[in-house]
Amino acid sequence: MMTEPSASTTQAPERNIFQFDEQQHEIALSTHNLHVYYGDNEALSEGDLQFERYKITALIGASGSGKSTFLRSLNRMNDGVARVDGQIMYRGLDINSNQIDVYEMRRHIGMVFQRPNPFAKSIYDNITFALKQRGLRDRHQLDEIVETSLRQAAMWDQVKDELHKSALALSGGQQQRLCIARAVAMKPDILLLDEPASALDPVATSQIEDTLLKLKEHYTIIIVTHNMQQAARISDFTAFFHLGKVLEYDEARKIFTRPKVAITNDYISGNFG
């Protein structure tokens, strides 16, 4: 449910960061003193955020507020594009450390992009490509992973008889679910999704949302979305980004019913963005 626009639109932003009680919540990923720069321009100045295991966290905010910059930093997709200062802690390791094998880390922290980007290969080969690159050759094991991944992405029944058809012949929504299947085939801990449904129609969008709700049984999900209804429907926690900072981060039901920060209220009420 959305709240009514607030009268206090001009109120200066206050920081209102939700701190998990680490005793009660298992943290899958956390950031500490994170700053991201494109050249001299500081696009993100974010302090300490924590992401709880097996929950969906939505990153919301107006265009240019830094959501994608933040998301892409979480598995070093900004390497070579931006300078990232601060720590991103995963299983006790800072993923920005020189000792990290970036490809191995991305196996644990996978990503699905805004536009479906299947390889120009068959459905089967899209899912097995990276596994084969890593040396997995056992046909039986590969078949099993293809089936499990497609089931997790809720498209096994639709494509089980045409696994050798080109992925490019699938609809946009199916292609995006194939990209989700490709990501989960690597058995990541964390799935990052950058507006995965923005190029899809409402039916395909709703199927992606149902898929994500099922996937959170096994994965920690962090999703950028411009769709407030989507964030309210599927997220457990929501972070509101504004001008390169997180102004409010809390349980989604609180953000969408009684946000503490006036600008959050204005944004979710559709007053800007």
Ligand X SMILES: Nc1ncnc2c1ncn2[C@@H]1O[C@H](COP(=O)(O)OP(=O)(O)OP(=O)(O)O)[C@@H](O)[C@H]1O
Residues found near ligand X in the complex (CB under 6 A): 38, 43, 61, 63-69, 81, 241
> Residue 111 belongs to what H/E stretch?
strand 109-112
- Pick the closer one to ligand X by CB: 96 or 225: 225
- Pick the closer one to ligand X by CB: 166 or 227: 227
- Pick the closer one to ligand X by CB: 152 or 244: 244
Minimum distance, C-beta of residue 41 to ligand X, in the bound complex (Å): 6
Sheet containing 16-17, strands listed edge to edge, beginning at the edge strand earlier in sequence: 16-17, 245-251, 237-242, 56-61, 220-224, 190-194, 109-112
- Pick the closer one to ligand X by CB: 172 or 273: 273
Q: How far apart are CA 223 and CA 60, in angstroms?
A: 9
Q: Which residue has the tokens 């900004």?
A: 78
For residue 47, what are its two tokens? 């302090």
Q: Which residue has the tokens 């992405």?
A: 153
Percent of the chain that is helix, strand, coil (3-state, to 5)? 35, 25, 40
Minimum distance, C-beta of residue 80 to ligand X, in the bound complex (Å): 10
Residue 19 CB partners (closer than 8 Å, separation 6+): 48, 50
- Pick the closer one to ligand X by CB: 34 or 154: 34
**Residue 267: alpha-carbon gap to chain centroid:** 20
- Pick the closer one to ligand X by CB: 219 or 241: 241
Question: 60, 241 in Cβ contact below 8 A?
Answer: yes
Which three-class secondary structure state does DSSP give residue 217? coil
